[in-house]
Chains A and B, each alone.
Chain A
Amino acid sequence: MTAALAISSSPRRRWRLPGTATGWFTGWFLVIWIGVVVLPLLIISAFSFFSMRQYQIVYIPTLDTWNSLVETGRWVVVLRTIRFAVSVTFLEILVAFPFALWLAKGCRSDAVRAGVITLLTIPFFIDASSRIIVWRSILGTNGVINNLLVGSGIIDKPLTWLLYSDFSVSFGMFGSYFPTAVFPIFLTLSLIDDDLIKASSDLGGSRLQTLRFVILPLAMPGIVGGIVFTFVPLMAAWIEPQLLGGSQVNLLGQSIQSALTNLNYPIAAALSTVVIAVLVLMLAMLVVSLRGRFKISSLFQSLDS
């Protein structure tokens, strides 16, 4: 960290004074931030190696909690959550990549691009429970879709698998995490120099070859970023399965929540540790894919222009 804290030597000596103040501020910020972000994550991982006795934590390292995950069959929940997260993430990237490519390179009008980016950003700022609960009145047995289908005579009886099912949960998840899949891909695609694409076609590359050998490799950090921003939160999704799954779909997020409510801290910690392990793995992938391709400073320069 000390290397990162080194203040840039600017051409003028006068800059040193605000420079050192800046260094102090950054140092303090890092200490506090690590204290409220990294430290809690480390502690909750450590808690999974403790046990509970009469509602008291026993601070002796043990694998009891992890063993009980297997014995009580909770690992099935982990597998089910991974299945959901993988399939929804796959769909997101499948839809997000072409859309981001169009947005970054195909869209002619700046106003349209700004409009779409606006539409993709707004969902971050909307209350999740009211946004998700409306799906009940759309997908329910007497909801919009069933009313339309029965009313038009396509089916006789309302479809029951539309709500409180794997389908409705995946559906809700897809909408929630679409923007987070698009943004990283869009960013890296925007950074690709148009001349590279031009050069590829000038040299006789077909559209598919240009996509395969020029665009895809350069966009890889963004794709990995999109996967990270989709897959990791999906592993801990809670609102969608709770509101749209009824009691039919039990995922990791609900297990963590109910374990915490029942004061079963080691189990909640172990299940959270699974999510944190996935997070660390994914971040490592992201760092590897970023290495040597994009420098963060080059990202800044492109914003600067």
Chain B
Amino acid sequence: MTIAVEPNGMPRRQGNRIRRRLLDRVGESSGWIVVAIALGTLALALIYGPLIWLGVMSFSAQPLSGVPYPLTFTHYATLFSNDKWHTPFIKSVILGLMVALACMIVGTFLARALVRLKRPGGVLFVALLPLFVPGLTLGAALFIFLRTTLNLRLGMWSLFIGHMVWALPFALLLILIVTIRFDVKLIQAAEDLGAKPLRCFLDIELPLLMPGISGAGIFSFLLSFNELLRSTFLRGSETTMPVYNWAMASAQQSQVPIVFSLSTLILAITLPLMGGLFFILFARK
């Protein structure tokens, strides 16, 4: 879904010139562009405004009031003296790492398989199907299947399945971008020079695919780390970080300030990381 596309195969400079001429034809001066940008920016503001406000209010004495003053560091102090969030945090990190590793491996093999298939449509559709299913629905369905039908005790393993179902389609799409760009002639050349298939894969294919694979790893980790809807059903008695946040946020407890400062810290780490990563993936050619 998140794929940068050049409209055609033209060199960029020529493409830009044509785009500029097109713009004149579509009507640069016409109002639609202004309206389009204004409404789009407003929508983006609806996403990012609250995030900024979250950061501001994490320093507020009363985070759920509308006034940031008086400013205070108390919530951060409470956060570091409170250790209730440590276990969920560590569990989320471990789970995220496992999901990331599994997504990188399965995604790589699947993407390599897809570009070699004559008709990849069917397989791709099945692989991407979870993207279309709402998290709550799939969570409930997996819960009924694993807990009620198979009568299994839920725990980290069921969380792992739920997170894999959510993260793998994204990982696959990212790795597909690099596998499609990969030139098969390179492998053929290596084989002509006497390289075995495993050597070809490890020495030639894998290094070239690595940007996509590592990107997929980071994406999968973050998707798993922040997953809430499926986790609420599949967690058994485990508590992950988003489940903990949710419990605090929905119960209107006094813990809410901690959630604010914790989320702010996590955002402060992940936002620049993601921003840089995405920019490299989309802007660099």
A residues adjacent to B (C-beta < 8 A)? 1, 3-10, 12, 14-15, 17-19, 22-23, 25-26, 29-30, 33-34, 36-41, 43-44, 47, 57, 95-96, 98-99, 101-106, 108, 110-111, 113-138, 140, 142-147, 171, 174-175, 178-180, 182-184, 187, 190-194, 197-198, 201, 207, 210, 228-229, 232-233, 235-239, 242-243, 253, 256-257, 260, 265, 268-269, 272, 275-276, 279, 282-283, 295-297, 300, 302-305
Contact = CB atoms under 8 A, between A and B. Distances in A.
A97 to B, nearest CB: 8
Contacts of A276: 133, 137
Contacts of B67: 142, 147
Contact of B66 (A1, A140, A190, A197): A140
Given A44-B145, A111-B283, A95 B40 contact: yes
B274 A125 contact: yes
A47 B50 CA distance: 40
A34 B133 CA distance: 13
B235 to A, nearest CB: 13
Given A133-B256, A175-B43, A238-B136, A127 B283 contact: no
A260 B226 CA distance: 22
Contacts of B120: 4, 296-297
A29 B117 CA distance: 14
Interface string B179-217: 011001000100100000100000000000000000000
A106 B23 contact: yes
A98 B134 contact: no
Chain A facing B: main interface SS: helix
A260 B253 CA distance: 24
B59 interface: no
6 contacts: A127-B241, A138-B53, A182-B40, A243-B249, A272-B140, A300-B176
Contact of B36 (A12, A25, A98, A239): A98
Nearest to A128: B228
Interface string B107-138: 00110111111111111101101111111111
A275 B136 CA distance: 10
Given A121-B278, A138-B53, A303-B5, A6 B140 contact: no
State which size class the interface on B falls in.
35 or more
Contact of B132 (A15, A120, A228, A295): A228
B106 interface: yes
Contacts of A174: 43, 46
A144 B47 CA distance: 16
A137 B126 contact: no
Closest 9 CB pairs of A and B: A99-B40, A236-B134, A98-B36, A114-B283, A4-B122, A130-B263, A305-B9, A175-B46, A40-B141
A296 B49 CA distance: 37
Given A108-B20, A126-B51, A117 B117 contact: no
A121 B8 CA distance: 23
